[in-house]
Amino acid sequence: MSREADPLMALVVDTRQISREKLAEMLKGKVLLDLQTETFLLQPEAKARSSARQAVLLSLLARKALSLLKEGLIDALSPKDIADLTGLKGNTIRPVVRQLSSEGFIVRRPEGYTIHGSALGRIAIALHDTE
């Protein structure tokens, strides 16, 4: 049976694929992307209103956006990277990423954590619900 004809292939997702339009909509007004330094900045208003959970999700979404814009950039961040970029403490970040991972919002790769592409809709709801 060829891969295309295999009915199980309909169940396969690529966590690296994501809707650019939905991603831009979710990040607009909340983050700024810097392609030169390959970093992002959470907008002060968004940062002030964000819980640790939101800050982690926004950070991983921003990194995903940067990786889509800059070829070769890894789309994952370690908890230390997230702490450095958000200003949150590592002992705040680590339980949040574990919880988000167990809920299927993010996945762990050798390079760190990244957004699970199929969870984008759920992430949008989670960001909206906690605002």
User: What predicted TM-score, i.e. pTM, was given to this entire model?
Assistant: 0.85
Residue among 55, 25, 19 nearest 40 (CA): 55
Structure tokens at 60: 């991983």
Tell me how far the alpha carbon of residue 59 is from its chain's centroid. 6
Q: Where are the domains of the chain?
A: 16-129
Report the CATH architecture of 16-129: Orthogonal Bundle (1.10)
Structure tokens at 45: 């208003």
Residue 104 — very low, low, confident or very high, per pLDDT cuts 50/70/90? very high
Inter-residue contact 103 to 56 (CB < 8 Å): no
Q: Is the pLDDT of residue 130 over 60?
A: no
Residue 123's pLDDT is what? 93
Residues contacting residue 2 through CB under 8 Å, at least 6 positions apart: none
pLDDT digits over 24-49, tens only? 999 999 999 999 999 999 999 988 88
Residue 116's pLDDT is what? 86
